Structure 1
Amino acid sequence: MALLPILRRTAGLGVAAGLGLTAYAAREARQYTLREETVPLLPPGHDPLRVLHISDIHLAPDQRAKREWLSGLAACEPDLVIDTGDNLAHARSVPLLAEALGGLLDVPGAYVLGSNDYWAPTMRNPLAYLLPDTGIRHTSQGQLPWPEMKRHFDESGWIDLTNGFGELTVRGTRIAFAGVDDPHLEYDDLDRVAGPADASADVRLAVTHAPYLRVLDQFARDGYDAIIAGHTHGGQVCLPRLGGRGGRALTTNCDLETARARGLHRHPAASAPGDPGTSWLHVSAGLGTNPYVRLRVACRPEATLLTLVPRV
């Protein structure tokens, strides 16, 4: 008979621990963070460029704190904005997104779209993404108003890099861009952007929503100095590390290895700056989650200010 009280206490402790973890994960998903990285890829003698990388906002109308934080990013005074997609989570989000981006839309920019710009999110098991990819894509909930969002971006002068090229001169530095549509949905058309990057440009940047290896490999081979991507959410549910400096990702929701789920790396992974056919790779952990399950563990939502400086 003494076993029953022990089982009850154990069950109670389990429930309390679960509730505590859920409360932490819900709070973590709202701890918006600006991360900074320095990338040495400009030609000698060029002034540094401040590039704001935003990704995976997954904006819903009730997310006032996220909108306010986004509005504050204009104070960083970036020289260039790169948006790697998955901006939307609701059909009514476009005007709110445009308002939140505010002054950033007055800054030179470039963008690609992600699956959650095109298709409305669905309610599903939040841990299912830890399992092997089934190849099933959730496109049954109807389209989001991505043409309206695209219109805001285009009218602001941002360059649409959907399976295409673009060019901007920012503070005297000429940047050649290439980008693809979302590889997670297999919308990418690598043939359309194949070929050597523009050797006459000062900097060559490639942009993709999801950092699938087939995309990274081609852009690196073609001579792009850096590849900018999102999609992974940094793993979203990570194993905590000592010191609280972010966690170890368990998945990337693509074929990129978990060690490069977020942050600044090289591609291929073992390469060094100056190696032929290699690039810098920056993957953003993004700012949002599925709106039905707003949880993150040891992986705070983020935007990144990349300072491009001359090569040594």
Structure 2
Amino acid sequence: MKLALLFFGLIAAYLLIGWLISFPIQLRSYTLSSPKIKTPVRLAVVSDLHSTVYGPNQKRLLDKLRQSRCDLILMPGDIIDDIKPLRGAELFLDQAAAIAPCYYCTGNHENIDTLITLPEVKARVRQAGITVLDSRKETITIRGTRFTLCGIDDPRKYAYIDRDSQEEIELMKALGSVQTCPEYTILLAHRPERSPIYAQFGFDLIVSGHAHGGQVRIPGLINGLFAPRQGWFPKRAGGLYQEQNSDLIVSRGLCRRWYLPRIFNPVEIPVIELTHNDG
């Protein structure tokens, strides 16, 4: 009996520690290189905020974003939630563009017309000075390097279901291939489980969210217990992956919910350092 109590006590303590260390926002660093990059450029990824509030006026989140010293902010969806009040998202959106240029695509929760419709979501994001990438491209220059930024809306009919990939294929076809593009190409697309589709179009980098880090992790053993549309032990829960010739970075996101605790799965802002190589 004493051994059983000790065992369950240790398990409880382990889970408590895992829950507590998942609260502070982490800057998770990645370094990628390409001959297309002239001088180092730093990207920050803000995903799956779900209107979570980090202190008065979103101070803790914005301070952490400033700490990243990013040149560009990428938002691959679910900044706004379909249930939680919009205020947390609005506080962030209205201040983010003052830190660095921001680019955004929609996520599945922004495709559900409960608090706000999809056109209203896009209008609100644009009002904050943020570029919405909905099946379109934009070419910009940062620190002497040209980038082509692309994005697609999260497929509306698959907000909570997952029948086939035809709608996403059509969205990608509308966007077009970038395989011969001389610029460094980045795709914002919410769902990492669809990355085999995205990679066919030749992007240098794909940035996603949605998986919430698999919610529960066991460091060194399990990189995620469960993720939407990937099920148990998801293949792409959070981190850096190689998808054909594309790099895929999946953010573990910034959402916190009391009824769905994160265990050994800190909320995060991935920071991607792009550097030059000679190919």
Instruction: Pick the TM interval, shorter chain.
Output: 0.7 to 0.9
- 1:262 maps to what in 2? 238
Please give the secondary structure, in 2, of the residue aligned with 1:239.
Answer: coil
**Residue aligning to 1:253:** 228
Q: Is the 8 A contact 2:47 2:251 kept in 1?
A: yes
Q: Judging changes above 3 Å, is the alpha-carbon distance between structure 1 residues 92 and 285 closer, same or farther for their aligned structure 2 residues?
A: closer
Equivalent in the alignment of 1:181: 153
Equivalent residue of 1:295, what SS?
coil
Given residue 229 of structure 2, which amino acid in structure 1 is its aligned partner? C
Q: 2:246 is matched with which residue?
A: 279
Q: Is the aligned partner of 1:100 residue 2:88?
A: no
User: In 1, Cα distance between the equivalents of 2:253 and 2:220?
Assistant: 20
Aligned to 2:261: 295
Q: How many matched pairs? A: 266
Does the 8 Å CA contact 2:27/2:68 hold for their aligned counterparts? Answer: no
Structure 2 unaligned residues grouped into runs of 5+: none
Gaps of 5+ in 1: 1-5, 120-138, 269-277
Match of 2:72 in 1: 80
Measure the CA separation in 1 of the matches of 2:36 and 2:9. 56
Alignment of 1:61-76 (within 5 A): 63-64=54-55, 67-72=58-63, 73-76=65-68
Summarize the Cα distance change of 1:10–1:26 in structure 2 as closer, same or farther, 3 Å threshold.
same
Distance 1:65 1:301 in 2: 18
How far did residue 34 of structure 1 move? 0.6
Q: 1:237 offset after TM fit, Å?
A: 0.9
Query: 2: distance between equivalents of 1:146 and 1:226?
Result: 26
Indicate if the aligned counterparts of 2:50 and 2:89 stay in contact, CA closer than 8 A.
Answer: no
- TM-score, scaled to structure 1: 0.72
Report the AA paired with residue 220 of structure 2. Answer: R
Paired residues of 1:159 and 1:166 also in contact (CA < 8 A): no
Give the TM-score, by structure 2 length.
0.79
Structure 1 residue matching 2:192: 3-state secondary structure: coil
Q: Given the alignment of the two structures, is residue 205 of structure 1 paired with residue 186 of structure 2, yes or no?
A: yes
Summarize the Cα distance change of 1:59–1:157 in structure 2 as closer, same or farther, 3 Å threshold.
Answer: closer
Question: 2:50 corresponds to which letter in structure 1?
Answer: H
Q: Percent same amino acid at aligned positions?
A: 24
SS at match of 2:178: coil
Residue 209 (structure 2) aligns with: 230
- Residues 189 and 218 (structure 1 numbering): CA distance in 2 closer, same or farther, change over 3 Å? closer
Give yes or no for the alignment of 1:219 onto 2:198.
yes
Looking at structure 1, the residues matched to 251 and 136 of structure 2 have their Cα atoms a distance apart, in angstroms, of 22
- Aligned to 1:51, what secondary structure does the other structure show? strand
Distance 1:93 1:148, change over 3 A: farther
User: Deviation digits for residues 87-145 of structure 1, max 9, x if unmatched?
Assistant: 134667434334335653132221111122344xxxxxxxxxxxxxxxxxxx8xx3446
- Give the Cα separation in 2 of the matches to 1:56 and 1:79: 20
Alpha-carbon distance in structure 2 between the residues aligned to 1:98 and 1:282:
25
Cross-structure match for 2:33: 40
